[in-house]
Amino acid sequence: MAHLVVALAYDQLCTFEFGCTVELFALDRPELEVDWYEFAVCALEPGPIRAAGGIQVQAPYDPSLLERADTIVIPGWRDADEVPPPELLEAIRRAHARGARLCTICSGVFVLAAAGVLDGQRATTHWRYTERLARRYPKIEVLEDDLYVDAGQIITSAGSAAGLDMLLHLVRRDYGARVGNMVAQRLVVAPHREGGQAQFLPRPMAPDEQGRLSRLMDYLRTHPGGEHSIRSMAERAAMSARTLQRQFQEATGMGPIEWLTRERVGIAKDLLESPDLPLAQVAERAGFGSEESLRHHFRRIAATTPGAYRRAFLVNAPVRG
């Protein structure tokens, strides 16, 4: 049976976050040649549901559908200060107990927090809500700056567009980097933003500086090999090393070397999905230079080994048409 993704609809629905969820999971994608998700929407209250912007949504299912969902997406919550209905919280607890994957965008995290399933877990939300979440639920480790936090069974994301990053991350988790990149290309968005990137820039960059940094990032993504040092990257971007490091930190929440290493790990994941490509070639094409370097950084960032990642992907790989 196809993996069932259920999105929760509720009165005063967050339209953008809901739309991102529909876009990712509801569209037919025959070009991917995989068994795509089954998608459905369940309404918390009898419809029609009022959504932001004066839109009305008529959902075909009630919350009983949550009982058989493999993944539940909560696209925001209408009021961070409103305790969700007891029947919804109990349904979330039952879903969590049976192993369903729970995902939230923006203020949707308050539903999981109220259900108690985030106690002792790491989570994030929109930067406007992080302090409120941490104060109200002290048992949650709130990460204030992250775009999204993947804690395994529970994945939480920051506001609006960060939800799209999180949803693409789910696709990569389920189908691998190749399919994730194809979906991102169809959406005309960047294929991958690490969850640990900063939610917003502390200071806006001048347009010319932002353009230079973007061009440098594009170059590094397509030329991951070579000895890319701070000095060589700064020279290519026509800026000082100090400015380069400051702008990388502001734009991504990490320094240029760490950003490049994580990009290389992402490339390696894509290459590892080809079962016949030797590990030495994976290391070379991803820019690590040696298998030892690949293993070290892959374990540090992906929390597994390249061999284990490849085996897991091949075991769980979807059937291709």
pTM of the model: 0.75
4-187 and 201-321: same fold? no
| pLDDT, tens only, 54-88 | 999 999 999 999 999 999 999 999 999 999 999 99
* Topology, domain 201-321: Arc Repressor Mutant, subunit A (1.10.10)
Side chain identity, residue 285:
R
- Domain range summary for the chain, segments of one domain joined by +: 4-187, 201-321
Q: How confident is the model at residue 320 (pLDDT cuts 50, 70, 90)?
A: very low
How confident is the model at residue 314, as a pLDDT? Answer: 73
Q: Which CATH number does 4-187 carry?
A: 3.40.50.880
SS3 36: coil
Separation of alpha carbons 287 and 294, rounded Å: 9
SS3 309: helix
Q: Are 310 and 273 in contact (CB under 8 A)?
A: yes
Separation of alpha carbons 75 and 78, rounded Å: 10
How confident is the model at residue 205, as a pLDDT? Answer: 52
Among residues 199, 39, 176, which one has the least CA distance to residue 106? Answer: 199
